Amino acid sequence: MVSRLLRGSLRLLGSRCAPRPPPAARCSHSGAEERLETPSAKKLTDIGIRRIFSSEHDIFRESVRKFFQEEVIPHHSEWEKAGEVSRELWEKAGKQGLLGVNIAEHHGGIGGDLYSAAIVWEEQAYSNCSGPGFNLHSDIVMPYIANYGSEEQIKQFIPQMTAGKCIGAIAMTEPGAGSDLQGVRTNAKRDGSDWILNGSKVFITNGWLSDVVIVVAVTNREARSPAHGISLFLVENGMKGFIKGRKLHKMGLKAQDTAELFFEDVRLPASALLGEENKGFYYLMQELPQERLLIAELGISASEFMFEETRNYVKQRKAFGKTVAHIQTVQHKLAELKTHICVTRAFVDSCLQLHATKRLDSPTASMAKYWASDLQNSVAYDCVQLHGGWGYMWEYPIARAYVDARVQPIYGGTNEIMKELIAREIVLDK
């Protein structure tokens, strides 16, 4: 695993990729390694300051950071205007080993660990470029195929998805069914050995560029509860009756293609069923904790980015004859922000550790998602305020970060639903 990740990292870093000795100052032990203490680091986004990562992870992070700096940031503004990133970027990411990082090698993935996948999530947030839907493709869609797919499905899709030649999406949300997955109306009916799929989906990330979509559909209306009558299907681009509607124009995430999808008598072969019939809701419940952890990771990483962007700004901006950073109210606000961010980072890192050992449960993932996404919006609000009028200008990164933050408490299950899940576990009679 490490060797394959390092090979890709070394290719990208070139001569800069020799392993660096761990810093001697302000270090704490993590196993046999020494790591900088997060609150003491010069920047919250510095490489080598988190205890859960190794020096091999640091090398991989350098390569990922370099990729976003060179291949994503320079083009992101044009992708915002287009409402989608280029397919060429996907293939470049595939060549660099940034897709399917956490998928086993024998399934066609990179064979990295969860921490390696988290590095890709974090570095995208640090780049402030929300366009590429890499994390949904790699860490939400691909695990469904790897965990529940047949050997033929895995061979057909995973290697192509790892290479960036097949872009994945998952279609859960409908015009009348969001966080309530049991309200799904899209349905599939048997016709001989085939299935006939009808319905519509909305707010589908990667929907416009998608080559394969995991579609959540009702297959048994007579089930004792809606949850027992849902199945998952692999629907491929180009299938007759599969129609991509308009690209949706959003408040934020402007470079991320988000689409409506329509299914009009789409004939699916038996091989399109993902996993077992009527087990779809169970699969969704199994995979949603990782999706919610991912959202939490994006939230705290975006908060770290916004804090550093604002720290730099107030140290340069002058008012009343001095830099804004020397105004006490600004200093106190920065102190509050850093404290909240560091505390949340510690919790999210502990959730990563739990998930790496398959011990992250739904209530804990819900806490991470709700807390980190709420914090992200709070940090965004305060950081725009500290930028003054310039924070309202689109040319400033903080403005983009502000509008991108707003959807985080909504998708992946609203934060109101997260509180319901947390509360249900608290009062449960065990």
Active-site annotation, residues: 291
Residue tagged 């050995």 (tokens): 193
Identify the three-state secondary structure at position 27: strand
Neighbour tally for 106: CB within 10 Å: 10
d(CA 424, CA 427): 6
Inter-residue contact 150 to 90 (CB < 8 Å): no
CA angle in degrees (0–180, nearest 5) for 44-47-50: 70
d(CA 390, CA 398): 9
DSSP string, 257-280: -EEEEEEEEEEE-GGGEESSTT-H
d(CA 166, CA 158): 9
How far, CA to CA in Å, does 376 sit from each of 130, 305, 383?
Answer: 14, 10, 10
d(CA 423, CA 249): 35
d(CA 121, CA 135): 6
d(CA 394, CA 251): 12
SS3 per residue for 117-138: HHHHHHHHHHHCCCCCCHHHHH
Residue 185 CB contacts under 8 Å (≥ 6 apart), including other chains: 174, 176, 177, 199, 218
Residue 245 CB contacts under 8 Å (≥ 6 apart), including other chains: 259, 260, 261, 262
CA angle in degrees (0–180, nearest 5) for 388-411-397: 25
